[in-house]
A = this chain, B = another copy of it.
Amino acid sequence: MEELVGLREGSSGNPVTLQELWGPCPRIRRRIRGGLEWLKQKLFRVGEDWYFLATLGVLMALISYTMSFTVGRVVRAHKWLYREIGDSHLLRYLSWTVYPMALVSFSSGFSQSITPFSGGSGIPELKTILSGVVLEDYLDIKNFGAKVVGLTCTLASGSTIFLGKVGPFVHLSVMIAAYLGRVRTKTIGESENKSKQNEMLVAAAAVGVATVFAAPFSGVLFSIEVMSSHFSVWDYWRGFFAATCGAFMFRLLAVFNSEQETITSLFKTSFRVDVPFDLPEIFFFVALGAICGVLSCAYLFCQRNFLIFVKTNPLTSKLLATSKPLYSALAALVLASITYPPGVGRFMASRLSMKQHLDTLFDNNSWALITRNSSPPWPAEPDPQNLWFEWYHPRFTIFGTLAFFLVMKFWMLILATTIPMPAGYFMPIFIFGAAAFSGAVTHTVSTALLAFELTGQIVHALPVLMAVLAANAIAQSCQPSFYDGTIIVKKLPYLPWIRGRKISSHRVIVEHFMNCSITTLAKDMPLEEVVKVITSTDKAEYPLEESTESQILVGTVRRAHLLQALQAEPPSWAPGHQVHYLQDILAGGCPMEPVTLQLSPETSLHEAHNLFELLNLQSLFVTARGRAVGTVSWVELKKAISNVTNPPAPK
């Protein structure tokens, strides 16, 4: 009976094949198949982007883990070499210094020879790209190899050079996302879309941070705070998804490699949960935050000026221009000599790796206790159980070592940031000053959350947050952030914020600051005049008017297209020939682009600024009654903002 019903259904609806009839329960099987089909469609409908993000996360986790693994091996080899080379001081010194020198000069030489874009952290450039500027080739996949190899070498030189991997990982992740995006558009056969692409890049930045620290929350927030000034909740969710995939995969690999029993926080600490701190301590937290704020201002100031000094000083600039590896090797030699353990490095715990530094930072042994109770001899090599001994010196106290460490690292870090190789600068800053200092240097609040995610304890949420806020308040009112500073030094374009947000700033309108001197073309312009305009100016595109008389804006024409069209029909504007007009070559195929958005002279500065930031614009036309009366670009906005925040003195 059951079978018959199935058959009847089949004959009325979809035909049932004979084969299906042979099996048991054809109806149920058909339903299951239908359900599976539906599920498949559903998954692929929702999915598309999500699969993309998950792939990205897993890929980045694999790269991050592989790199950590390799770096660990190379560092171990270096330690072995240093230990086994014998007691001769010269040999020891050479083994200590030549190793990082070779690595660093190879890193900078290799990456610079492939592409000049692979140096540095990459975050400043990405910030510029995400705000709408096109930096050609910066996200090209060939940078990828250079950056991976270079970064591995940099990290392998260990705590001598004392640089991290956050920035480059963000850059790597964004490069992969851009590459995957290109692959996808090619396979689907759809045209690439700018805003779609940007969404992916924002998520990719979050993945980059998350895979380094295995901290999805702060990864997403950090990337948002550093990268953009506006963001949509939608992007934030995508970021969370991708970052979680990445962080999960990263920790999973550690478990599979039996480094850890299960997935847990990266660094462990054990504060008391019930009474973690006394009330008056809050005051000290805030004071510490304020001190960090002042220090970070000093750091940012020195760092920026040293960068400028290196670029302008004839000797170093020549060295940097002609032989980057040599400069890198020299810098590495200086750094390695200082950290040589039997020498000055004795007082700086220089035998610890970056990870061990972080371990000791988050460990909460009471320092004073160690100083009082124990005075063991300086061990021949770091004891993995008691890393703290590395900080200990019989004559100096542990606080002396720490103070010395901080003062030395301050300028060593500044020197290290000038080496032109792939490296991250967040990690050393984080080790150097923990949450409040790194928050102040990068102008972010999420560093506090990062500290909690790394330790797995959040009981200190309030005081740490207050310290970070205090540090940020001081740093932000005095200095641009680390990344903005680099953008300024590298002369990349950027759009400043409207700080202060006084009520009076809401009254500034576009008319007050727009650029009124625009060069327009009109459709009824004789071609001779068009040529004159084009040759006398060098804009990338020109606004096009309906007619010279009405001045109604109808679109824009690219200079390149115009030149092409003009060269295609040269006889038309030869003297003695019949005069043609611009509209003739427009009709002849020269493409005209529509103006999708126009400002009015009455638009407020805040509105215009929001538009530029949110839509990643470069410039907009201002129209009044349909006529183009001016343009607003970053240049005008910057000027207007600096006038608002630092009003010119009244005469």
Q: Which residues of B contact A217 (CB under 8 A)?
A: 449, 461, 465
A264-301: CB near B (< 8 Å → 1, else 0) gives 11001010011111110010000000000000000000
Q: Which of B215, B607, B615, B625 contacts A554 (CB 8 A)?
A: B625
> Given the complex, which residues of B lie within 8 Å of A625, measured CB to CB?
546, 552-554, 626
Q: A597-B599, A626-B627 are in contact. Are A265 and B458 (CB under 8 A)?
A: yes
Cross-chain contact A230 with B462 (CB below 8 angstroms): no
Q: Is A81 an interface residue (CB 8 A)?
A: no
In the complex, the count of this chain's copies comes to 2
Question: Contact partner of A456 among B195, B215, B459, CB < 8 A?
Answer: B459
Question: Are B228 and A229 touching (Cβ within 8 A)?
Answer: no
Residues of B within 8 A of A244 (CB): 462, 465-466, 469
Q: Which of B282, B596, B603 contacts A602 (CB 8 A)?
A: B596
Which of A96-104, A307-315, A498-506 forms contacts with chain B?
A498-506
Shortest Cβ distance from A595 into chain B, in angstroms? 6
Instruction: Check A233–B228 contact: CB distance below 8 A.
Output: yes
Contacts of A276 in B (CB 8 A): 262, 264, 456
Q: Which residues of chain B are within 8 angstroms of A199 by Cβ–Cβ distance?
A: 501
In contact, A273 and B262 (Cβ under 8 angstroms): no
**A383 an interface residue at 8 Å Cβ cutoff?**
no
Q: Which residues of B contact A473 (CB under 8 A)?
A: 46, 50
Contact A277 to B263, CB < 8 A, known contacts A225-B233, A465-B244, A501-B196: yes
Q: Say yes or no for A349: interface residue by CB 8 A criterion.
A: no
Given A596-B607, A614-B230, also A265-B626 (CB < 8 A): no
- Complex CA gap A497/B462 in Å reads 35
Q: Which of B195, B233, B252, B500 contacts A45 (CB 8 A)?
A: B500
**In this assembly, does A619 line the interface, its C-beta being within 8 Å of a C-beta of chain B?**
no
- The CA-CA distance from A276 to B456 in the complex, in Å, is 10
Assess the A279–B263 pair: CB atoms within 8 A: yes
Residues of B within 8 A of A500 (CB): 45-46
Q: Determine the distance from Cα of A50 to Cα of B553 in the docked complex, in whole angstroms.
A: 44
Please choose the segment from A13-21, A158-166, A234-242, A321-329 that sits at the chain B interface, where 4 or more of its residues have CB less than 8 A away: A234-242
Among the listed B232, B477, B606, which residue makes an inter-chain contact with A230, where contact means beta carbons less than 8 Å apart?
B232
Q: Is A247 an interface residue (CB 8 A)?
A: yes
**Interface 1/0 per residue, A575-612 and B, CB below 8 Å:** 00000000000000000001111111111101100110
**Interface residues in A, total, Cβ within 8 A:** 100
A484: interface (CB < 8 Å): no
A231 sits at the interface (CB 8 A): yes
Whether a CB of chain B sits under 8 angstroms from the CB of A188 is yes
Residues of B within 8 A of A497 (CB): 234
- CB of B597 within 8 A of CB of A462, answer no
The CA-CA distance from A225 to B221 in the complex, in Å, is 13
Interchain CB contact (< 8 A) of A626 among B263, B461, B552, B615: B552
Please report the C-alpha to C-alpha distance between residue A240 and residue B473 in the assembled complex, in whole angstroms.
12
Cβ-closest chain B residue relative to A554: B625
Say yes or no for A120: interface residue by CB 8 A criterion.
no
Q: Are A503 and B196 in contact (CB under 8 A)?
A: yes
B275 touches A264 (CB 8 A): yes
Asked if A452 is at the interface of the complex by the 8 Å CB criterion, the answer is yes
A453 an interface residue at 8 Å Cβ cutoff? yes
Q: How far, in whole Å, are A453 and B465 apart by their CA atoms in the complex?
A: 12
Which of chain A's residues 488-540 have a Cβ closer than 8 Å to chain B?
Answer: 497, 500-504, 506
The answer to whether A615 and B607 have CB atoms under 8 Å apart is yes
A501's partner among B49, B263, B278, B602 (CB-CB below 8 A) is B49
Identify A459's interface contact among B236, B264, B506, B606, CB under 8 A: B264
Q: Which residue of B lies closest to A237 (CB)?
A: B445
Judge if A190 is at the interface, Cβ distance under 8 Å.
yes
Q: State the Cβ distance, A4 to closest chain B Cβ, in Å.
A: 33
Let me know if A233 and B241 touch, CB within 8 A. no
Known: A500-B46, A501-B199. A247 touches B506 (CB 8 A): no
Assess whether A2 is interfacial by the CB under 8 Å rule.
no
Is the CB of A11 closer than 8 A to any CB of chain B? no
- Chain B residue numbers with a CB within 8 Å of A449 are 217
Is A150 part of the contact surface with B, judged by Cβ < 8 Å?
Answer: no
Closest to A194 in B: B506
Q: State in angstroms the CA–CA spacing of A237 and B229 once bound together.
A: 11
Complex contacts, A264 vs chain B, CB 8 Å: 273-276, 459
A477: B residues at CB distance < 8 A: 46
CB-defined A-B contacts under 8 Å, sample of 13: A48-B502, A195-B606, A214-B462, A232-B613, A244-B462, A251-B462, A255-B279, A268-B273, A453-B458, A453-B461, A594-B600, A598-B623, A614-B614
For the complex with contacts A265-B273, A552-B552, 7 further pairs of A-B residues with Cβ separation under 8 Å are A217-B465, A230-B614, A240-B469, A456-B459, A596-B600, A597-B599, A607-B615
Pairs A-B, 4 closest by C-beta atoms: A626-B626, A594-B602, A456-B459, A596-B603
